[in-house]
Structure 1
């Protein structure tokens, strides 16, 4: 039986769980959020991604109820949540600092919110045990936060946030304090827990790898605006602008002038250099400025001249060896520096190429994305 793809955003019959409708937030003269429309669906793991100061945390704080929109509405399950105080929303927030109570055991930390709601003892016990099992913390139940590791504290904060079964869980840079390896492990744990509980997660992060790993969809933000909202693969392979292409992953951007015939595009980009070619479904005017975006892993590097569409010669300026891949910075006669990547699939005693070697770089006419801005 074919597996159904989780894509409620493509289903016209599906109603969003969260709707931002013309939401603007100003602090004095400063516009932090600028007229945003955004739908987030139930059971999504949604990422708000962007540099510091882009407005992603403000967006999250408005969902939590710590800020109110200057203009526009935020709906949760069709209800305007503007007038609803934070403690009465079906929303919980997990803070970057975890904010655990140091004097309480792990068990009591998780039970805290349930006790405040006045739930009966048996219900609290059952729910806390369920949360301990879900986050694999049962054997640490009697310990205090200072007696467990950073990764375990992170899971306690998650268990406490999920204990009240919110419709929506907000995660503010939740893995920022963890080292790289633990962060990667925890990302998969988060995804696993999100899938098991079916809770909608909205994560704020400036770490593009994290957003691309955990999220069903990513909203890339800049200066209070949404630059692109799509699935991680679409954002990586089909960015809507130079900003998005440049923000997500490594990319080479070559500026030039367009000459289009149907889906074939020739780009004049440097005096005395052959035109570059690409295929595109977009329409460009004759001589219009355009930008060719090519990911380094889509560029081949060779000692001999290859045949094909886009073939350029240059000299190796720099090499970054990252274990699984090597990135070569190739300087062209025009002064452009192009990054090309090669997977290190075999153990090698010496590199194929070294500094100052003359090499050829090439890519197919379907490898690049051509952007208007």
Structure 2
């Protein structure tokens, strides 16, 4: 039986769990959040992604009840929670520091919030054991936080946050303290735990790879606004602005002017004496309109001889970034523009086809790039 695709945002009959409605937050003269409206659905793993100071943490703090909106409303499960204090919301927040009690064992840390609810001992014990199993921490139940690794402490904080079965869990840069390899492993653990519990997760991160790995949808933020919300693949393959194309992954941006040459096909004039580049686009551009062509390096092929390709340019290899499985070639064109091409390292490095200072050709298809107006 085919698996149903999880995409409640595409179903007009679905009611969002969270709704930001024209939310603005000002601190004195500074506008941290500028008229944001967004819907987040139950069981989503939703990522707020952007550089430092873009407003993502302020948006999360308003959801948690630590800040109140200056204007607009925040709805959770159909209730206006704009003025509801944090302890009265079915929401839990997991901080980057984890904030574990150093004098309590792993078991006691997870039980802490349940004890404050005055639940009976059997219920607390059953819930803690369930959380230990979920986060694979049974063996470490009696240890103190300083006796376990960073990744295990992160899982204790997660177990404690989920113990009270919140409708919504907020994660503020939760993997920031972990090293790269552990962070990668923990990303998949987070997704697995989120799917098993069915809790709605909202994560704040500046790490694009983290957002793309864990999230069902990503909201890219800039200067207090959400500039694009979509699934990770669409954010990467179909950015709606140069800002998003540039912020997510590696990209070549070629600026020029567009002229239609056929249905959804444009010639881009981009430098004196150079043949125009050809690109397909469902967006329409007027004659001579300024545009930017965004092409991912993995969609650019590198050749020793001039290829028979629609878009081809010549240049010299200026630099090579060796990333183990991939090599990125930085090729300088005649006008000084750098274009990056990426190749998988299927052969050993000693047998690499190209090296520094080599004259090479680059090529890409008319569908490889995204034509952008802004």
In the superposition, the TM-score normalised over structure 2's length comes to: 0.99
Single out whichever of 258-267 and 357-366 deviates more from structure 2: 258-267
Question: 1:111 is matched with which residue?
Answer: 111
Measured in 2, the distance between the counterparts of 1:237 and 1:345 equals 24
Mapped to 2, the partners of 1:351 and 1:152 lie a distance apart of 41
| Residues 324-361 of structure 1: per-residue CA shift (max 9 Å, x gap) | 00000000001100000001122342321011100000
- Residue aligned with 2:21, SS: strand
Q: Is residue 155 from structure 1 mapped to residue 155 from structure 2 by the alignment?
A: yes
Query: How many angstroms apart in 2 are the aligned matches of 1:210 and 1:194?
Result: 15
| Counterpart Cα distance in 2 of 1:297 and 1:311 | 15
Which sections of structure 2, spanning at least 5 residues, go unmatched?
none
Deviating 4+ runs (over 4 angstroms): none
Alignment of 1:63-102 (within 5 A): 63-102=63-102
CA distances 1:203-248 after superposition (whole Å, capped 9, x unpaired): 0000000000000000000000001000000000000000000000
Partner of 2:114: helix, strand, or coil? helix
**Shift in Å, 1:146:** 0.4
Q: What is the match of residue 290 of structure 1?
A: 291
Alignment correspondent of 1:303: 304
Partner of 1:323: 324
Residue 34, structure 1, aligned to residue 62, structure 2: no
2:20 aligned with 1:25: no
Greater CA deviation, 349-358 or 287-296? Answer: 349-358
Q: 1:170-213: per-residue Cα shift (whole Å, max 9, x none)? A: 00000000000000000000000000000000000000000000
* SS, match of residue 292 in structure 1: strand
Q: How do 1:260-279 and structure 2 match up within 5 A? A: 260=260, 261-279=262-280
Match of 1:166 in 2: 166
What CA distance in whole angstroms lies between the structure 2 residues aligned with 1:169 and 1:75? Answer: 15
CA distance in 1, matches of 2:240, 2:280: 16
How many pairs are equivalent? 373
Q: Distance in 1 between matches of 2:31 and 2:3?
A: 44
Q: What's the CA shift string for 1:66-118, capped at 9, x where partnerless?
A: 00000000000110011211011000000000000000000000000000011
Separation in 2 of the partners of 1:330 and 1:82? 52
Q: How far, CA to CA, are the matches of 2:282 and 2:137 in structure 1?
A: 52
Cα root mean square deviation, aligned: 0.6
Structure 2 CA distance for aligned equivalents of residues 69 and 324 of structure 1: 47
1:283-309 Cα shifts (integer Å, max 9, x gaps): 111111000000000000010111111
2:192 corresponding residue in structure 1: 192
Q: Secondary structure at the match of 1:185?
A: helix
